[in-house]
Structure 1
Amino acid sequence: MTRSTTITATEIVLPGPVEPDGLQARVRELPPPGEGQVVLRMEATGVSFAEQQMRLGGYYDQPPFPFVPGYDVVGTVIATGAGVDPALQGRRYAAVTKIGGWASHLHLAAGDLVPVPDGLDPTAAETVLVNGVTAWQMLHRCARVPAGGTVVVLGANGGVGNTLVQLARHAGINVIGTASARHHDAVRQLGAVPVDYRDPDMYPKIRELAPGGVDSVFDHVGGTGLEQSWRLLRKGGTLVNYGSATRKNEQGNALLPMLTLFGRLYAWNYLPNGKRALFYNLWAGKRSLATFRARMREDLTQVLRLVADGALQPQIAARIPLCRAADALTLAESRTVLGKVVIVAEETK
């Protein structure tokens, strides 16, 4: 496709703090790609917890309304701008975007593209993009848990959670995973010991399973339970917090609560017990763009290769077409599904 070819893009817009059925669709002509850019034809994008928070204006560094959500995307390059190798056209790539993925076509910086292995289904690849790189980096770059260690994964049935469980088990790490009772069989199949997160004695039961403490806790819940997660750690263990699901239904800017959370985690590191507490931010280090992109490409390539080799099984909760993005968001927010809700370009036959 030449740079002068007109491309019509369908985009799903989040206009403000609305219910899922308040999402808006718009159609516009997409300008030709600029220098260093490509046009990607979307084949799969996803619904992550970030979009659920953004819907209410509660994601701590989201852009002002209105905007097109969509944290990650898989698709085929159909046009290239100046300074971009034309050989990229016709090839499938993945990218973590933070916003913009809920569109039939979109501009992306060529430097953010990661090749998808040949033969890998785009829906399967999409399922492990932001979830996979988040899980990989938290496990291997943040916590650095050795083989034979034990970790706790809160929300082991969720998109990041089930990927964390699989990556940990692949690395020879024991996993205790929290989930509702209806998902316990699935969590067991992933290789984790399930504990009901609705049980008021959840934390005592985890301590019974690991009386000497655990090497790491991966906590996306935050709130008052964060201190309980901290107490589960053995000496030298690491608490990795990567969200605050307790604020899921709260509207308004999350900056002050996040700053309070950061301060709390920071202070724990000075207690004389050898434990560590940190907040994982996928976008940390982006000021050094070249280093950030290299790390992202390296880690995401590792995750996609594990999927292509069959070592990591994507957990796809549903495939829903872009025109029904409101249904996809509603389903993801219901917390009734195992894995990730994926938005695809068209209705599946």
Structure 2
Amino acid sequence: MQSRCISISEFGNVNVVTISEREVPEPRGSEVRIRVEAASVSFTDIMIRNGLYPEVKKAPVVLGYDVVGEVEAVGPDVTRFSPGDRVADLTITGSQSEYLLRDEAGLVPVPSELEPAQAVVCVLAYLTAYQMMFRVAELKEGDSFLIHGGGGSVGSAALDLARAFGISAYATASQSKHEFVSSFGATAIDYQHEDFVQVVKQAHPDGVPAVFDAIGPENFKRSYSALSPGGSLVIFGLLDMALGRQKGGMLATGLWYGLSKLKRDRRNAMFYIITRLRKQHPDWFQEDLTALFELLRQGRIAPVVADIVSFFDIAEAHRRIESAEIRGKIVLDPRRR
């Protein structure tokens, strides 16, 4: 069957994004064919589009890092799912499509009462925040942390989870997003006019147990200094490099990271890569995403959907994400006309 999708034929600016069609065959073996109900539009898509994402080295490619949808057909070896079930997965590419095939082993059941748009925000944004907070930094109730980009999808997810679990949060954000950040009960820091290290240490003279940073090497150094003894700097991206604001970001990060390991100050720096952790601990992916869906079902978290768009709105969605105007997550609904 034919399926419309969002694809790029080459790496480049937003003009390479097109609506195309691809063949989605009948599922074989343990494959499941999913009718897509929601796929997030994320900054990772822009990194892939620009040729900056390490796991996607060639175009053409269909975009879309995560998916929530309904099982439409199953292969003969499928045992866990039936047509009509709702499922979720982390796809890396391919989900911005009307239909796609996935192996049942990686799928996570989605409670039927959840809205697809909110559920899909859990798959990449909330899972990233949840695993950084609880699997990597091992935060607990009463702890505190700093995250950069508090108005973005991962940042707002971390703030929402902090509120749910009784953790104090500090977040850098532009002045225009301070009200949004504060709505989660977090302390907003104007990164353009305030020293985030000073703000954090005024409240916590010894520093905080965790800092989550996806900006770049120069920021990592300052974030490291905001840590308490035994604290963890968790690096989960290179925004400056992706936006062309810093050349040689990977090399500079590698050099700084290596030097940080030589320090004997009981603080740690580590990288978080969602796909790597999933390969190392596939059971965590299932457990953690299931836990997030349950938190959403109970009303303990409330993912922010900034907009729900159609295929025809994707290029504009990329522009909005690149301008950093978005609060929360943009979601594609392929059923929209």
SS at match of 2:6: strand
SS at match of 2:229: strand
Unpaired segments of 5 or more residues in structure 1? Answer: 1-6
Cα distance in 1, alignment partners of residues 277 and 219 from structure 2: 28
Q: How far apart are 1:325 and its partner, in Å? A: 1.7
Q: Which of 297, 300, 307 is 1:318 aligned to?
A: 307
Q: Which of 132, 155, 167 is 2:149 aligned to?
A: 155
Q: Which of 202, 206, 209 is 1:212 aligned to?
A: 206
Q: How far apart are 1:47 and its partner, in Å? A: 1.4
Q: Which of 142, 164, 167 is 2:161 aligned to?
A: 167
The two structures have a TM-score, normalised by structure 1, of 0.91
Match of 2:75 in 1: 81
Compared CA separation, residues 61 and 262, structure 1 to 2 (3 A): farther
Query: Counterpart amino acid of 1:64?
Result: K
Q: Which of 193, 196, 201 is 2:195 aligned to?
A: 201
Cα distance in 1, alignment partners of residues 104 and 251 from structure 2: 33
The two structures have a TM-score, normalised by structure 2, of 0.94
**Bigger CA drift: 71-80 or 11-20?**
11-20
Unpaired segments of 5 or more residues in structure 2? Answer: none
Match of 2:227 in 1: 233
Query: Counterpart amino acid of 1:124?
Result: Q
Q: Which of 6, 26, 29 is 1:12 aligned to?
A: 6
Query: Counterpart amino acid of 1:328?
Result: A
Instruction: Answer whether contact 1:331 1:341 (CA < 8 A) is retained.
Output: no
Cα distance in 2, alignment partners of residues 167 and 142 from structure 1: 15
SS at match of 1:182: helix
Q: How far apart are 1:298 and its partner, in Å? A: 0.4
Root mean square deviation, CA, Å: 2.0
Q: How far apart are 1:287 and its partner, in Å? A: 5.0
Match of 1:277 in 2: 269
Cα distance in 1, alignment partners of residues 122 and 279 from structure 2: 25
Match of 2:335 in 1: 346
SS at match of 1:57: coil
Cα distance in 2, alignment partners of residues 223 and 344 from structure 1: 36
Q: Which of 186, 197, 213 is 1:192 aligned to?
A: 186
Compared CA separation, residues 166 and 41, structure 1 to 2 (3 A): same
Instruction: Answer whether contact 1:44 1:345 (CA < 8 A) is retained.
Output: yes
Q: How far apart are 1:238 and its partner, in Å? A: 0.5
Q: How far apart are 1:87 and its partner, in Å? A: 4.7
Q: How far apart are 1:304 and its partner, in Å? A: 1.1
**Bigger CA drift: 214-223 or 236-245?**
214-223
Q: Count how many residue pairs are aligned between Structure 1 and Structure 2.
A: 336
Compared CA separation, residues 91 and 259, structure 1 to 2 (3 A): farther
SS at match of 1:24: strand
After superposition, give the CA deviation of every residue in 1:100-159 in whole Å (9 maximum; x if it has no partner): 111110111111111111210000101121111111110001001232121001111110
Compared CA separation, residues 54 and 250, structure 1 to 2 (3 A): farther
Query: Counterpart amino acid of 1:321?
Result: S
Query: Counterpart amino acid of 2:309?
Result: I
Query: Counterpart amino acid of 2:7?
Result: V
Match of 1:224 in 2: 218
Instruction: Answer whether contact 2:241 2:249 (CA < 8 A) is retained.
Output: no
For the pair 1:138 / 2:135, whether they are aligned, the reply is no
For the pair 1:268 / 2:242, whether they are aligned, the reply is no
Match of 1:4 in 2: none
Percent of aligned positions with the same letter in both sequences? Answer: 30
Q: How far apart are 1:69 and its partner, in Å? A: 1.3
**Bigger CA drift: 209-218 or 257-266?**
257-266
Match of 2:113 in 1: 119
Q: Which of 32, 42, 55 is 2:36 aligned to?
A: 42
Instruction: Answer whether contact 2:51 2:57 (CA < 8 A) is retained.
Output: no
SS at match of 2:274: coil
Query: Counterpart amino acid of 2:36?
Result: M
After superposition, give the CA deviation of every residue in 1:188-237 in whole Å (9 maximum; x if it has no partner): 11110000122253433333233221110000112311100000001111
Match of 1:31 in 2: 25
Instruction: Answer whether contact 1:332 1:340 (CA < 8 A) is retained.
Output: no
Query: Counterpart amino acid of 2:256?
Result: R
